[in-house]
A = this chain, B = another copy of it.
Amino acid sequence: MLQREAVLQVEAGADYVDVNVGTFVDQEEALMRWAVEMIQDGTEVPLCIDSADPNVVEAGLQACRKRAIVNSISGERSRFDDLIGIVKKHDTAVIGLTMDDSGIPEDAEGLVEKGGALLENLLAQGVSAADIYLDPLVRPVSTGPGVGLIVIRAIERLKRTFEDVQVVCGLSNISYGLPRRSLLNGAFLVAAVSAGLDAAILDPLDGSLMGLLRAAEAVLGHDAYCLDYIRAYRDGRL
């Protein structure tokens, strides 16, 4: 099941496969190791090791056969201190949440400020900018009308302020608690890509989401002369 899911994700266009076994708290470390091995037996794509627990991250990275991404570090002091050594030891890329011990900022300025502070700390530790993905923490739009736009504005400003850094977001949170989630995820993804988003954690098996993403790449000039779009159409992937 797990391996088949990963293979399907890669076939659908995933550049990395995110591995998260957080629903099984008691056995997370052993399950992470097992999942990483299992997925790598089925596909050659690199992995994104997704856990808030440093021991689980370390267990996952020890099993990785390729250079991975750690998902995620943040500006929270203990989380940063616990994870930075692991990131350096395994020479991984890293997703950094734009928050710290004072919580998640309520506006775009705050997200950019926390992102900048985290970036500085990561660079000071010798992580290169090209390996850093800042994540401005998408929250459900059902919780407040400004929540989505704040992240879009934060993406724009992060890209404008820190030229070398990449911006990523976990997509599906935006639609939590609402119907037709794929439609909301798609609309948010297009707005985010238009704002400069470099990468997203999403379900590549959602065909309508991926079709819309390919259309966005085409109309926003990331897909010169729409060649990828036309190829996807011909292959029945739109």
Contacts and interface: CB of A to CB of B under 8 A. Distances in A.
Interface of A: 141-142, 144-149, 152, 174-175, 178-180, 183-184, 186-188, 190-191, 193-195, 211-212, 214-216, 218-221, 223-226, 229-230, 233, 238
Contacts of A144: 225
B142 A226 contact: yes
B229 A178 contact: yes
B149 A220 contact: yes
Contacts of A174: 219
Contacts of A195: 194
Identify the 7 closest CB pairs spanning chains A and B, nearest first.
A187-B215, A191-B194, A148-B219, A190-B190, A187-B216, A145-B224, A183-B215
A223 B145 contact: yes
A146 B220 CA distance: 7
A230 B179 contact: yes
Contact of A220 (B191, B233, B238): B191
A204 to B, nearest CB: 17
A194 to B, nearest CB: 4
A154 to B, nearest CB: 13
Q: Which of A188, A226, A238 has the most CB of B within 10 A?
A: A226
Given A184-B229, A187-B220, 7 more contacts: A141-B219, A152-B194, A178-B229, A180-B238, A184-B219, A186-B215, A191-B194
